[in-house]
Amino acid sequence: MGDEQTLLIAGIDYIPKGNLHLMPNILVKSYIDSSKDSDITGRVTLYVKFDSGKIITE
C-alpha cells in the first residue's frame, strides 16, 4: 500500500431529471516503482432523491 505516488479522481454529475443523478468516475493510480503499471478504475454512481411526501409549512 505505501508505494502509491499519485491518485487522480475525475468525475461528472449528470442530472437527466431533477431528482436523478448519474455520476461516472475514473480513478487513476500510479506508483513510485516504475515496473508497476498504473491502475485505472471506472465507476458509476446512481443517486436518486425520493420525495417523502411531507409538507413543511412555516
Q: In this predicted model, what pLDDT tens digit does every residue of 1-39 receive, in sequence order?
A: 567 688 899 999 999 988 899 999 999 998 888 788 889
Q: What is the pLDDT of residue 34?
A: 78
Look at residue 55 and tell me if it is in a domain.
no
Q: What is the pLDDT of residue 43?
A: 96
Look at residue 10 and tell me if it is in a domain.
yes
Contact predicate 42/28, CB 8 Å: no
What b/e readout covers 1-36, taking b as 16+ CB neighbours within 10 angstroms? eeeeeeeeeeeeeeeeeeeeeeeeeeeeebeeeeee
And the C-alpha cell for 5?
505516488
Pairing state of beta strands 4-11 and 20-31? Answer: antiparallel
Number of domains in the chain: 1
Look at residue 15 and tell me if it is in a domain.
yes
In terms of residue numbers, what domain contains 23?
4-48
